[in-house]
Chains A and B, each alone.
Chain A
């Protein structure tokens, strides 16, 4: 039986696309038939929940009862992968709370697979976040996500400075989320569906929709590139190694 996996998606800065990345992850795991659940820490409103209502709960990650709801159920939940979309400004706080409850230790001992998707913004503040986060994540699988979805440029970073931060974290990997046309983004927002559902031209209720073929094409192309990045870093191997190896054995014939 696969051990539970927790993926934290966060940044201390707002507006860098955390929820977008969390949505692509949920779509990715669903496409790989990997059962997944999500927690949306945009308490009490919830943004992720709007797109994936069936598998998302809105929680206050700073409150103990909600921490229990997430972490005490890791072993018993049907979904072995848990994605937590951490609200802006709460990444460091959440990581400290995880340390306090012994979660980071469990991950270090190999009882839980733990990954952090740290979404970077364009400013130097993001680089400082890396150093701060690195200090508390222990042996977690650390992914630095450069999110270009909103045409963010990272040119104001000096590559040497960036690398000096990046190299502080052993085994850190970089993931690029490419740009997606603003209009395509907006239409998916308006549709309030997972990206995959939009591409399939379906409403949230599963009925036939009439979205623009061009916009669906752009979203499909973009999502394919994002998933290509997840494939590159072997995300499925990380969270569901047994299942994947079985698939590979089957494919090998």
Chain B
């Protein structure tokens, strides 16, 4: 990959869409791949991303310019550290307004940093509107819709306009209810070393978690390829 690092913004139109779980998984995936990673919790409501991974996630706020500098200057720092941002719906508009104004995507690309957005789909029409806004306003971002299978394929997969239109979505596999209880108390990391150390997880649950992680990580590898493809496409695009 010609990019030195990635910045992945994980967001959705509303809360309880699964974005924090996705952010936690992505941090652990980077670690699993032996990549340096830092997380930023921009969900002022619960701050669960920071509570789950306190060693690797910093709470952020962009209400004032100092907070914006603390976050965005770090996101575009060419330090070979991958960045994962859990962007709460309450900060969505402000984040992308600032990002647009300061030329975040363009600056990241100029520094060989791949900027990506994982947008967790929810059924509301306004969620589609926001997705299209991101697509139209930020052509430099690799924008990928995320289908959280917890919402059910019947409910969403067949009716969601973006998925019907042939857009390839990243899938967030469902974690079986009997496994969820083991991973929902912060702090908690899906990293192998942590799972191996975790007490109180029966062997079959451990295997179940590993299977689920494997499926999630396959999706992230496809995301890597998508970012690489976007890079290749832009590098071979001939000047008009």
Contact = CB atoms under 8 A, between A and B. Distances in A.
B90 interface: no
B65 A213 contact: no
Interface in A195-247: 212-218, 220-221
A184 B66 CA distance: 11
A181 B68 CA distance: 12
A40 to B, nearest CB: 30
Interface string B75-110: 010000000000000000000001001111001000
Contact of B73 (A181, A183, A214): A214
Given A181-B65, A183-B65, A214-B65, A220 B103 contact: yes
Nearest to B104: A217
Nearest to B101: A221
A225 to B, nearest CB: 10
Contacts, number: 35
A212 B73 contact: yes
Contacts of B3: none
- Size class of the contact patch on chain A: 10 to 19
A217 to B, nearest CB: 2
B103 A217 contact: yes
A83 B224 CA distance: 53
Interface string A17-58: 000000000000000000000000000000000000000000
B207 interface: no
Contacts of B66: 183
Interface residues of B, number: 13
B73 A213 contact: yes
Contacts of B69: 212, 214-215
Contacts of B72: 213-214, 217
A198 B144 CA distance: 34
Nearest to B75: A213
Contacts of A215: 65, 69
Contacts of A221: 101-103
Contacts of A218: 65, 101-102
Contacts of A212: 69, 73
Contacts of B104: 217
A212 B74 CA distance: 10
A183 B68 CA distance: 12
A245 to B, nearest CB: 25
A215 B98 CA distance: 11
Given A214-B102, A217-B103, 14 more contacts: A181-B65, A212-B69, A213-B102, A214-B65, A214-B69, A214-B72, A215-B69, A216-B102, A217-B101, A217-B102, A217-B104, A217-B107, A218-B101, A221-B102
Nearest 7 interchain pairs by C-beta:
A217-B102, A214-B69, A221-B101, A214-B72, A212-B69, A214-B68, A183-B65
28 contacts: A181-B65, A183-B65, A212-B69, A212-B73, A213-B72, A213-B73, A213-B102, A214-B65, A214-B69, A214-B98, A214-B102, A215-B65, A215-B69, A216-B102, A217-B72, A217-B101, A217-B102, A217-B103, A217-B104, A217-B107, A218-B65, A218-B101, A218-B102, A220-B102, A220-B103, A221-B101, A221-B102, A221-B103
